[in-house]
Structure 1
Amino acid sequence: METHDLTLDDFLSRFQLLRPKMSRDVLNRRQAAVLIPLVRREQPGLLLTKRASHMRKHPGQVAFPGGAVDSTDASLIAAALREAHEEVAIPPEVVEIIGVLPPVDSVTGFQVTPVVGIIPPDLHYHASEEEVAAVFEMPLSEALRLSRYHPLDIQRRGHDHRVWLSWYQHYFVWGMTAGIIRELALQIGMKP
Structure 2
Amino acid sequence: MSYQDNPLPLADFIRRFQLQLPEEQASSRYQQVRPAAVLIPIIRRPEPTLLLTRRADTLRKHAGQVAFPGGKTDIDDHSPIITALREAEEEVAIPPHKVQILGQLAPLDSSTGFQVTPVIGLLPPDIQFHANQDEVATVFEIPLQQALMLSRYYPLDIQRGGHPHRVYLSWYHSQFIWGLTAAIIRRLAQQVRM
TM range (shorter): over 0.9
1:137 aligns to what? 141
**Aligned-partner residue type, residue 80 of structure 2:** L
Residue 101 of structure 1 corresponds to 105
Check 1:27–1:75 CA distance in 2 against 1; reply closer, same or farther (3 A cut): farther
The partner residue of 1:153 within 141, 146, 157 is: 157
Q: How large is the Cα RMSD of the aligned pairs?
A: 2.0
1:162 to 2:166 alignment: yes
> How far 1:28 moved relative to its partner?
3.4
Distance 2:39 2:50 in 1: 11
- Number of residue pairs matched by the alignment: 190
Q: Which aligned runs of 4 or more in structure 1 are off by greater than 6 angstroms? A: 22-27
Ranges in structure 2 where 5+ consecutive residues have no aligned partner = none
Q: Give the AA of the match of 1:14.
A: R
Aligned pair partner of 1:116 in 102, 117, 120? 120
Matched AA of 2:9: T
The structural deviation recorded for 1:173 is: 0.5
Distance 2:23 2:76 in 1: 21
Normalising by the residue count of structure 1, what TM-score does the alignment of the two structures yield? 0.93
Tell me whether 1:6 sits opposite 2:8 in the alignment.
yes
Structure 1, unaligned stretches of length 5 or more?
none
Which range moves more in the overlay, 77-86 or 13-22?
13-22
Mark the CA change 1:160 to 1:117 in structure 2 (over 3 Å): closer, same or farther. Answer: same
Q: Does the aligned pair in 2 maintain the 1:17–1:98 contact within 8 Å?
A: no
SS state at 1:147 partner? helix
Preserved contact between residue 97 and residue 117 of structure 1 (Cα < 8 Å) = yes
Q: Give the % identical residues.
A: 61
